[in-house]
């Protein structure tokens, strides 16, 4: 029998290495992201907790390298200093971020795009999955069988991790997880590293970006199909 997660929906999370300093950009669905990038240095762009699956633009103006899992893209402009390059980045949740990149004489940039904080923007074709995701976001049972399932998991660096609810419907199972920064300083959390602990989730949503302010909480919703049914 294939299990949904290594063990169960309760996870054992490994400690993570800190990411290097990066600029966090809040995305607006109605406006392109305007930012300066380095002419000579390597520019890294990431969109946690999602993976970048497509970059669209005039590829005569830039070169791209990328991580095999889509976690990061590395952008190297071919355009002259002061020119602007327009690209669109699509992630594996179906969200598209338009970017206007100005080539500048600065060091290589590390850019983290903070995505839209709206569950209804996540593209989910299956109606049951979409309804479960909405119910988890509204913290209601709706048509689903819901268990209050508060289990404390191992801390990730300085962050507290708990699974707080379990949703079930037919062959679907969903977990609601709460990440809490109990410290007095901002902390980093790589949500994709957390999600990667699950066996082929059909969808997921994170209620914040991967930086938590002091005392801030974030919730992660993850839905899987029960392969044993």
**Of 45-54, 169-178, 185-194, where does mean pLDDT reach its minimum?**
185-194
Give the whole-angstrom CA distance, residue 46 versus residue 20: 13
Give 3-state DSSP helix, strand, coil % of the chain, rounded to 5.
10, 45, 45
Give the whole-angstrom CA distance, residue 128 versus residue 133: 9
Give the whole-angstrom CA distance, residue 84 versus residue 164: 46
Query: Is it the case that residue 73 has pLDDT exceeding 80?
Result: yes
For the chain, domains (ranges, CATH) are: 28-114 (2.60.40), 119-225 (2.60.40)
Angstrom distances, CA of residue 71 to CA of 112, 126, 130, 145, 219: 11, 25, 24, 34, 20
Give the whole-angstrom CA distance, residue 111 versus residue 60: 22
The per-residue pLDDT for range 127-141, each reduced to its tens digit, is: 888 889 889 888 999
- Specify whether the CB–CB gap between 173 and 167 falls below 8 A: yes
Helix or strand or coil: residue 84? Answer: strand
The per-residue pLDDT for range 114-123, each reduced to its tens digit, is: 765 444 334 4
Query: Is it the case that residue 201 has pLDDT exceeding 60?
Result: yes
The per-residue pLDDT for range 137-174, each reduced to its tens digit, is: 889 999 999 999 788 877 777 888 899 999 999 999 99
Mean pLDDT (the chain) is 79
Band (pLDDT 50/70/90 cuts) for residue 227 is low
The per-residue pLDDT for range 90-111, each reduced to its tens digit, is: 887 677 889 999 999 999 999 9
Report the pLDDT value the prediction gives residue 137, as an integer from 0 to 100: 85
Query: Is it the case that residue 71 has pLDDT exceeding 70?
Result: yes
132 DSSP assignment: H
| Strand pairing class (43-46; 110-114) | parallel
The per-residue pLDDT for range 17-32, each reduced to its tens digit, is: 223 357 888 777 678 8
């Amino acid at each position: 029998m294939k299990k949904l997660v290594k063990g169960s929906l309760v996870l054992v999370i490994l400690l993570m290495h800190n990411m290097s300093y990066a600029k966090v950009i809040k995305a607006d669905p109605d406006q392109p992201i305007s930012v300066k990038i380095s002419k000579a240095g390597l520019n890294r762009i990431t969109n946690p907790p999602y993976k970048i699956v497509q970059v669209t633009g005039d590829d005569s103006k830039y070169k791209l390298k990328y991580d095999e899992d889509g976690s990061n893209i590395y952008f190297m402009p071919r355009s002259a200093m002061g020119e602007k390059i327009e690209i669109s980045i699509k992630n594996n949740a179906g969200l598209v971020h338009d970017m206007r990149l100005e080539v500048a004489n600065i060091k290589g940039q590390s850019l983290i795009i903070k995505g839209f904080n709206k569950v209804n923007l996540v593209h989910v074709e299956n109606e049951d999955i979409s309804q479960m995701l909405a119910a988890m976001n509204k913290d209601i049972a709706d048509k689903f069988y819901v268990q209050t399932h508060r289990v404390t998991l191992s801390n990730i660096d300085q962050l507290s991790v708990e699974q707080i609810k379990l949703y079930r419907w037919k062959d679907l199972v969903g977990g609601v997880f709460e990440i809490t920064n109990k410290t007095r300083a901002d902390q980093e959390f790589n949500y994709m590293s957390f999600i990667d602990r699950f066996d082929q989730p059909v969808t997921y949503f994170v209620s914040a970006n991967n930086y938590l302010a002091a005392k801030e909480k974030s919730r992660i919703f993850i839905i899987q199909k029960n392969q044993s049914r």
